[in-house]
Structure 1
Amino acid sequence: MPRPPLDIGTYGKITRTQLDETTWQAETRYRDHDGTTRKVRARGTTGAKAEAALKKKLVDRNHQAGGDTLTLDSTIGDLCALWLQDVDASGRAQATKDYYRRIVDRTILPGLNEVRLREATTGRIDRFLRAIPKPSTARDARVALKQAFALAARYDAPPVQPCHRRIPATSKPEEAESAHPRRHSDAPAPHLAMAERAARRTQTRLRPRRVYRRHDRNRRPHRRSPRTEVGGHRL
C-alpha cells in the first residue's frame, strides 16, 4: 500500500546523520505549496543544532511560499493582533478603531489570550462572554470575536465559527434590549455608530455647497379681470 502524501506545508520524520566529528546533517521530506515533495537539509555542529536549523529553514520556506499566517495551534492573541491590523487598514472611523483595540486589550486578551484556535469551542467562548459583568461590553466583545474569527476563516484556521450564538437576556437591561432586535446585530455599539455618523457629517460639511436660485416672491401672477354683461353684450 503506498504511503499517503504529506499535507501541503508539512514535513515528515527528521533524521540526523553525523558527517564527521564536527558536522551533523538533519534531513526531512517537505511538501511544498505546489504539491511536490522535496528533501530539505540543514547542518550544524551537533545533531540538535542541525535539527533546529532545519526546522527554522522549514518555517522560512513556508512563509516564503505564501504559507498560512494562522493555524489551529495559533492563539486567540495572535488572531486578535492580525484582526486589529485589518481594522487599522480599513476605512472605519478612528474612534471605532480605538474602541475595538480597547475591547481586545482590556476584555478579550485577559481571558482568552493563550487559548488555541483548536480549543476555541462555542461553549468556551460562550462561558467567557457570560462571565463579563457588563452586557454592553459582552456584546461588543462578541462582535469583535466574531469578526476576528471570520478573518481566521480566510486562513482556514478555525474548524467552526464559535461566536454564532447571541448573548441571552439574563438581566433587565438585556430584556430591554430584546425589545429592539437591531441591537443584537453585528453592528458596532451605538456610541461607535454615532462617532461614524459625526465623521460623515464633518466630511459632508467640507464638500462645496450647491448654489440655489431663490424665486422672486414679489412677482404676482397675471389675473384676468372678470367679464360683465351690459344689455346682453359682454364687455
Structure 2
Amino acid sequence: MAETAITTQEAPTPQVEPADSSLARLPTDRPIESQNEGRLVDAKVKKPRTPRQAKPSTLSPETQPEWHAAAEDFMARLLPANVDTVRHYGTKNYVITAVAILGGLSKAAIEAAAGFSRSCVGSHVERLHLSSKSAKSLTFDRQQYEDAMKVLTPRADAATHRLIFHAPGDHRIAITVKRAAKRRDAAKEARAERIEAAKRKREEEAWAAGIEIRRGVSLRAVKCLSKPFDFTM
C-alpha cells in the first residue's frame, strides 16, 4: 500500500500543450477585417459636387448703355420662369451674349466688351439656338434687337431647362442633350470593349495553364476535345 501511495505521488502531472498560435490570432484578425470593410464602404461614398461659378461679365452701362439696358430688361421681363438658374449658373452671361447677337454685335465686339473668349461666345450662340451670321456690327442696334424678339420666343428647353430662343419651324434638339447622349454611347462602347478584353485575357490565361473554358465551365484542355472527332473508316 505504501509503494502504491509513493508511485501515486511521484506520478508526473500531465503537461498542457500550448494552444496553436494561429488559432489564438483568429479573434484578433476579425476586427481588422471589419475595419477594412468599413474603410472600403467609406471610400465608395462620393463627395458632394461643388457648383462651379461662372466668370462675371465685364459689360458696363457706361461703355454700352443700350446693350446693358436691353440685357437687364430681358432678365426682368422676358426670362422664362422655368429656366434652371440653379444648375445653369451662367444664365446672365448667356442673356448678355444673346441680346448682343440679336442686336447685331459681332463676336469680336462681345469679346472686347463682355470679357468672354471667342470660343465661349460661340458656345453661347450654339446653345441658345441662335445664329451669328448677321451679327457683324461694332455697335448695338436696339431696333434690330426688338425686331428679332418679335419673331423669336425665349423658352426653357424641355430636357435641360436652359434658355433657348425658339424660332418658327425650329425643332432642333438642345446641344447639351446631344452631347450627353454621345457621352453615354461612348461609355457603353468602352464598357463593352473592356468586358471583351477581360474575357479574351481569361481565355488566354486558361489555355496557357492547360485549362479550357466551355460555357462557363473550366475543363482540362485535351487535344481531342479542341477539334471534332474523325470517324472516317
Q: Would you say same fold, with TM above 0.5?
A: no
Larger radius of gyration: 2
Structure with the bigger percentage of helix: 2
The alignment's TM-score, normalised by the length of structure 1, stands at 0.22
Structure with the bigger percentage of strand: 1
